[in-house]
Amino acid sequence: MDLPKRYTEEEMQVIARNDEHHDALHSDKEFYEQMQQYNQMANQQLNLTQAGNNAAQNADVLVKNTNEDWINKKWRPVMGWMYMVVCITDFVIFPVLWSLLQAVSHGQVNSQWQPVTLQGAGLFHISMGAVLGIAAYGRTKEKLEGAQSTPTSTPSPSPGGLNPFK
């Protein structure tokens, strides 16, 4: 069993001074109220910048993505264009260049171009198909949800049934 540490005389004086200081601060009501107001403002700012009490209560926090950076808006088309460029170069341009290179250097074509993207069982094409397919599905879902959340208004009929724009 450990006994509590005995304080030295010097440590006891420091503790006594802190107690006196604490008592002096609490006796000054105006200063004490200002400190309470400052602490409340700091806590409010803290709750605004963090999830605050909502996270502890499992509340739904809906935050709109306001990031309007071009890469966030255009990553799907960029992936599609990149895949198209890779396929054209690997299946059209490189085979032609490979045959021309062989014809110019040896006078005849001895070997065919082996597509780089088909090596490894075509895993590149499988993965790009998955990425582009899921991206297209996700974008379609986003558009449908956006269309459903947008209220549609029906035009009100003109008075007397006459259409002034005909």
Helix (H) or strand (E) holding 94: helix 94-106
Q: What is the pLDDT of residues 107-151, one digit of tens each?
A: 888 889 999 999 988 999 999 999 999 988 988 888 888 877 766
Quick count: other Cβ atoms within 10 Å of Cβ 75? 12
Q: Look at residue 58 and tell me if it is in a domain.
A: no
Q: Hunting for tokens 């259409």 — which residue is that?
A: 163
Instruction: For residues 82 and 121, state if they share a domain.
Output: yes
Residues 36 and 99 in one domain: no
Domain around 19: 14-48
Asked if 79 and 137 sit in the same domain, the reply is yes
For position 99, what pLDDT does the model report? 93
- Domain membership of residue 57 (yes or no) is no
Is 158 among the domain residues? Answer: no
Task: Copy the structure tokens of residue 39.
Answer: 């602490």
79 and 109 assigned to the same domain: yes
Can you say whether residue 164 is alpha, beta or left, with left for phi > 0 and alpha for psi between -120 and 50 degrees?
A: alpha
Q: Count up the domains in the chain and report the number.
A: 2
pLDDT for the residue 158 = 52
pLDDT in tens, 53-81: 555 555 555 666 666 787 778 888 899 99
List Cα–Cα distances, 29 to 20, 24, 38, in angstroms: 16, 10, 14
The mean pLDDT value of the chain amounts to 76
Specify the pLDDT at position 164.
Answer: 52
Do 139 and 76 lie in one domain? The reply is: yes
Most confident of 23-27, 39-43, 142-146: 142-146
108 lies in some domain = yes
